[in-house]
């Protein structure tokens, strides 16, 4: 894959952006529907999502397509839970490699701690079923069509902080909705994710 045509200090990457990439960022996503959506007939026939042109189909498990210490910010919302434990550590290490000193990695995931607390507080007979369904840990054929369908793991704050420390980040902290050193945070943190998410920010 060709290197992005932007200068090093401008490189900002959104991993697993879905339909929510923002202008000026390298919006990476692995969904096969990106290609299909760019062929008008298939887009209509298969009713693929309306992928913006600036989303690049790329599987981050292959390693980020950027040189060492060249990236300023990396953002990822609701993507790391789709990687296995081994993949997520390898990807976090690769983020550390690609970020410039002082560069920031912000990861947003569904908050397992919150889901467990809500399950324990739910006295209805449907609580167990609702809890299991929120984990989305089952895998099906749908995973091939849409890699964002089901989860491979879930994180609470201590697991995600540990992962990022293991990946080499000296500074890792629990953050919150739209509280960030990344200037474009109001466009990146999605309102729709607010009440279900854990926010972690790490500095290289």
89 near ligand SAM (CB under 6 A): no
User: In this structure, is the dihedral angle defined by the CA atoms of residues 16, 20, 21 and 22, taken in order, positive or negative?
Assistant: negative
Give every strand in the sheet of 197-203, ordered side by side: 55-57, 26-29, 12-15, 71-77, 99-110, 197-203, 171-175
Q: Which of 11, 64, 79, 202 binds ligand SAM (CB under 6 A)?
A: 79
- Smallest gap from residue 21 Cβ to ligand SAM (A): 8
- Residue 127 or 152 with smaller CB distance to ligand SAM: 152
CA distance 197 to 110: 5
How does 20-42 read in b/e, with b if 16+ C-beta sit within 10 Å? bbeeebbbbbbbebbebbeeeee
- Residue 79 or 164 with smaller CB distance to ligand SAM: 79
Binding residues among 171-200 for ligand SAM as defined by CB under 6 A? 190, 193
Site string for ligand SAM, 108-147 (x = CB under 6 A): ---------------------------------------x
User: In this structure, is the dihedral angle defined by the CA atoms of residues 143, 29, 163 and 97, taken in order, positive or negative?
Assistant: positive
Q: Which of 12, 27, 48, 78 binds ligand SAM (CB under 6 A)?
A: 78
56 near ligand SAM (CB under 6 A): no
- Nearest of 69, 61, 58 to residue 90 by alpha carbon: 61
74 near ligand SAM (CB under 6 A): no
- Residue 43 or 193 with smaller CB distance to ligand SAM: 193
Binding site residues, ligand SAM, CB under 6 A:
16-18, 20, 28-31, 59-61, 77-79, 82, 147-148, 190, 193
């Amino acid at each position: 894959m060709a290197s992005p045509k932007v200068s090093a200090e401008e490189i900002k990457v959104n991993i697993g952006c879905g339909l929510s990439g923002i202008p000026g960022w390298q919006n990476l996503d692995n969904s096969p529907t990106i290609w299909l959506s760019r062929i008008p007939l298939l887009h209509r026939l298969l009713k693929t999502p309306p992928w913006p042109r600036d989303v690049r189909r790329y599987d981050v498990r292959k390693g980020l397509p950027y040189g060492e210490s060249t990236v300023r910010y990396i953002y990822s919302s609701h993507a790391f839970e789709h990687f296995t434990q081994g993949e997520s550590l390898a990807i976090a290490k690769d983020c550390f490699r690609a970020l410039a000193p002082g560069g920031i990695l912000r990861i947003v995931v569904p908050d397992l701690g919150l889901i467990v607390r809500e399950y324990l507080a739910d006295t209805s007979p449907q609580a167990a079923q609702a809890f299991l369904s929120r984990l989305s840990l089952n895998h099906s054929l749908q995973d091939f069509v849409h890699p964002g369908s089901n989860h491979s793991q879930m994180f609470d704050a201590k697991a995600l902080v540990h992962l990022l420390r293991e990946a080499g980040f000296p500074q890792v902290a629990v953050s919150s909705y739209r509280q960030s050193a990344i200037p474009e945070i109001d466009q990146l943190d999605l309102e729709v994710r607010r009440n279900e998410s854990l926010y972690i920010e790490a500095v290289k």
